[in-house]
Chain A
Amino acid sequence: MRTVIESQRNILDYALSGLMRRRGKTFSLILLYALVVFVLASIMFFTHAMRRESELLLSGAPELVVQRMIAGRHDPIPLEYGRGIATIRGVSRVQPRLWGYYYDSDIRANYTVQTTTDDSITRGTLAIGAGLARMRSLKKGDELSIWGYDGQPRTFQVATIFTVESDLLTTDLVLTHEADFRELFHFPMERATDLSVTVRNPREIPTVAARIAELYPDTRPITRQDILRTYAAVFDWRGGILIVMVSMALLAFVIFAWDRASGLSANEQREIGILKSIGWKTEEVLILKLWEGAIISLTAFLLGLIGGYIHVFLLSAPLFARVIKGWATLYPSFRLTPFIDYYQVAVLFVLSVFPYLLATVVPSWQAAIVDPDNAMRGSE
C-alpha cells in the first residue's frame, strides 16, 4: 500500500513538473477552461441566488391572495368580497392589501408602494428600503416628495429605513399609511388592490381557493405555492437556456481538449518514449497523463468557481445580469446575498470536470502506448 502511494506521489510530482515545463501551453489551456467554468458558475450562482431571493420575498407573502379580474385584467377588489370570504370554513383571517408602483422620474426608477398597519408609520410619514435611501441619499427624518394623482407633490417624513436579509426585496420598497395611500393615488374607498387570506390548516388552501373561485367567479385566487413554482420555472428556464448555450461552448472546449491531448508535440512524444524505455509501464504513463488532466481540470474548476463567486456576489454579475434579470427595473447598487450550497458546487464539478476527463482518457492512452524500444530503434 505504501509503495502504491509513494509511486503515485512521485508520478504526481513529475506530472506537475512536466506541466510547469510546458508553462505556456498549460496556462493557456487552464485559462480557456477556467473561462468556460467561470461563465457556467456565474450563471448557476446567479439564477440560484435570484431564486432564493424570490423565495425569501415570497416567504413573507401571504399563503393565498385573491385578485379581482375585469375583462381579464387585474382590478381593485371590493372589500365586501373579503367579508364574504371570511365566512368560508377554514379561513381564519382576510386582510385587504393596498399596493402599487410609483415612477420616480428624478432617478428613473420604480418604487413599490405598499401600506402598512405598523403603528410607527403615522399619517405623513413613511418607511423606505435601504436601497432607495441610498439612491436618494436620504437619512431618517429627511423629507421625500411624492407626486400625487393630481400632479401635486406631497411631502413625507422618513420615519424608518429598513434592511432585511434580502436586498432585492426592500431596495425599492416604500411603506405608507393607508389613508395617505388612498389620498395620494386617489384609490377608491371600499376597494383594495387584493385580499390576503389566511387559512388555518395549510392543507386546506386548495379547497379554500376552489371555494372562493366558486363564490366569486370574477376573482382569481393565487396560492403562494403557485407563485413559487412559477418563479422557479421562470428562473430555471432562463438559466437553462444559458446553460445549454454554455454547454455548447463546453462541448467545443472538450473537442479542443481532445484534439490537443491527441496531438502531442514531438518533444512530449519523445519524453514518453524515454519513460517507456527506462521502465515505465503503459499504465504508469497513462496515470501520469491522467494526473496532468486532473491537475488542469481541478485548477481550472477552482479558478472558474472563485471567479464566478466574485463576479456574482461581489460585483453583482455585471456581465449578464440584464439577460436573466429581465423583469427587474433599475437596481443601481444591488447586491445578491452570497449563497452557495454543496449541490451547486457538485453540479458544477460534474458539468465541467467529467466531460474533460471523458474526452482525454482515450488520447491519454494513445500517448501512453508508444513502444518502449522506439528509443533503441531510433539509434540503429
Chain B
Amino acid sequence: MQSGIIALLVTSLGTAGLLLYAARIAIQTLRSWDLGSGSEQQLLLERKTALVSTIVALILGFQVVTLALFIYTVDALHILFAGSMCAAGTLNVNPLGYPSLAIKLLCTILAGIWMIINRADYLAHDFPLIKVKFTLLLVLAPLSLLEAGSLTSYFLLLKPDVITSCCGSLFEGGRTTLAGLLAGLPPVPSAIGYYLVTAVTLLNGIITWRTGRGGLLLAVTSLAAFISGIAALVAFFCLYYYEIPTHHCPFCLLQPEYGRIGYLLYALLISGVVTGCGGGVIHLNRKRPSLSVIVPKLQKRLALWTVLSFSLYLLLVTIKLLTTSFRLD
C-alpha cells in the first residue's frame, strides 16, 4: 500500500510539474499569438502546441490510471483504520480525503474535455480554438497542482490509529453531509428520476448523433445524467448489488465481492459526461468558418459515444435490477 501511495504521489507531482510547464507555454502563446506572422517565434509557438497536446494526452492517460489506483489504494487501506470497511472510511479519516478524490475526478474530466477541444482545433487549419484550449489549460494546471498538494497532505496526515466511520454510518440517510443526503434520497423516486433524465439524455444524444442538433443541450443533459446516475446508484441501484436494503455505499461496489463492477460503472459515467460536455464546448465554436465542417462531424461521433456510454450503464444497472432476487419492499 505504501508503494501505491508513493506511486500516486510521484505521478501527481510529476503531472502537476509538467502541466505547469505547459501552462507557461499557454501564457506565452496567449500573449504573443499571431497566425499571420511568418516569424520564427510564431513558428516555435505553433510547434509548442504539439508539445502541449502530447503532454495533456499523456496526463489524461495518467489520470485515468491513477484515479483507479487511488480508489483501489484507499479501498485497500481500510484495514488500517478501525471502524472502516471500504474506501469510504479511509477517505473520511481526514478532511482531505473526499476533496482529493473530487479534484482528481474533476481533473480527469477536464483533461478529457481538453483533448476533445484539442482534436477539433487540430483538425482545422487555422488554430481556431487555440485561445479556448489554452485558457482551459490555465484552469487545469493549477487544479492539478491543487490535486498534488491535497493528495500529499491527505496521505501524510493518514494516522493509522484514527477510528473512522464505516460506510454504513457515512452513507446513511438523514445526515446533513452530501453522502448522507445522497443516501437519504428516497430510492424509488430517485430511480424514476434517473430513468427520466437518462431517457431525455439518450434521446437528445441520438438526435445529436443523427442530425447534429442539440449539441449544447446534450452537454447539460449529459451532466445531469452523470449526476443522477451517481445519485441513483447510491440511493437505489447499489441496494440491488449489495442485496441489503440499507447499505448505500458507492465504494463497496469496487470490491471483489461485487466483481469490481464499480470501476466499469464509474468509467461509463465519466466517459458519458466527458464526451457530452466536450461536444457542447466545441458546439459553441461551430460557427467559425474553418470549423463549420469539422465540428458537426466530430460532434456526431461524440454524441454516439455519449449515447453508448450512458445506455451501457443503463443496461448494466437495469439488468441487475431485474435479475437479482432481492426486492425492495
Contacts and interface: CB of A to CB of B under 8 A. Distances in A.
Interface string B1-33: 111101110110011011001000000000000
B47 A236 contact: no
Given A343-B4, A351-B7, A361-B58, A225 B50 contact: no
Interface string B43-73: 0100100110011001000100110010010
Nearest to A240: B2
Contacts of B17: 358
Interface stretch (B74-82, B97-105, B129-137, B228-236): B74-82
B289 interface: no
A357 interface: yes
A260 interface: no
Interface in B144-163: 160
A213 interface: no
At the interface, is chain A mostly helix, strand, loop or mixed? helix
Interface in B78-129: 79-80, 82
B82 A282 contact: no
A347 B7 contact: yes
B54 A243 contact: no
A286 B54 contact: yes
Given A232-B1, A354-B11, A354-B62, 11 more contacts: A228-B79, A233-B80, A236-B1, A282-B47, A286-B54, A347-B4, A350-B7, A351-B10, A354-B14, A355-B10, A368-B50
At the interface, is chain B mostly helix, strand, loop or mixed? helix
Nearest to B17: A358
Contacts of A243: 2-3, 6
Contact of B6 (A247, A286, A344, A357): A247
Contacts of A290: 54
A266 interface: no
B22 to A, nearest CB: 10
Nearest to A250: B10
A346 B67 CA distance: 12
B72 A343 contact: yes
A229 B80 contact: yes
Contacts of B76: 343
B298 to A, nearest CB: 14
Contacts of B80: 229, 232-233
Nearest to B11: A354
B50 A354 contact: no
A247 B54 contact: no
A286 B50 CA distance: 9
Given A44-B3, A232-B80, A283-B50, A350 B18 contact: no
B292 to A, nearest CB: 23
Given A228-B79, A229-B160, A247 B2 contact: no
B20 to A, nearest CB: 13
Given A346-B65, A354-B10, A354-B11, A365 B2 contact: no
B147 to A, nearest CB: 15
A233 B81 CA distance: 11
A232 B79 contact: yes
A236 B80 CA distance: 11
A85 to B, nearest CB: 22
A365 B54 contact: yes
A47 B55 CA distance: 34
B3 A351 contact: yes
Contacts of A232: 1, 79-80
A350 B2 contact: no
Interface string A161-179: 0000000000000000000
Interface string A31-47: 00000000000011001
Given A225-B82, A247-B6, A350-B65, A358 B50 contact: no
A239 interface: yes
Interface string A329-350: 0000000000000011011101
Contact of A365 (B1, B3, B10, B51): B51
Nearest to B76: A343
B11 A350 contact: yes
Contacts of B10: 247, 350-351, 354-355
Contacts of B1: 232, 236
Nearest to A346: B69
Interface in A34-70: 43-44, 47
A244 interface: yes
A284 B188 CA distance: 53
A236 B4 CA distance: 11
Contacts of A348: 3
A278 interface: no
A146 B199 CA distance: 78
The 10 closest A-B CB pairs, nearest first, are: A240-B2, A236-B2, A365-B51, A351-B7, A350-B7, A358-B14, A347-B4, A347-B7, A369-B47, A347-B3
A244 B160 contact: no
16 contacts: A233-B160, A239-B3, A243-B2, A244-B6, A247-B10, A286-B51, A346-B65, A346-B72, A350-B69, A351-B6, A351-B7, A354-B10, A354-B11, A361-B51, A362-B51, A365-B50
Centre residue among B11, B47, B54 by max chain A CB count within 10 A:
B54
A158 B3 CA distance: 44
B295 to A, nearest CB: 19
Contacts of B14: 354-355, 358
B63 to A, nearest CB: 11
Contacts of B15: 358
B62 to A, nearest CB: 6
B68 to A, nearest CB: 8
Interface string A8-40: 000000000000000000000000000000000
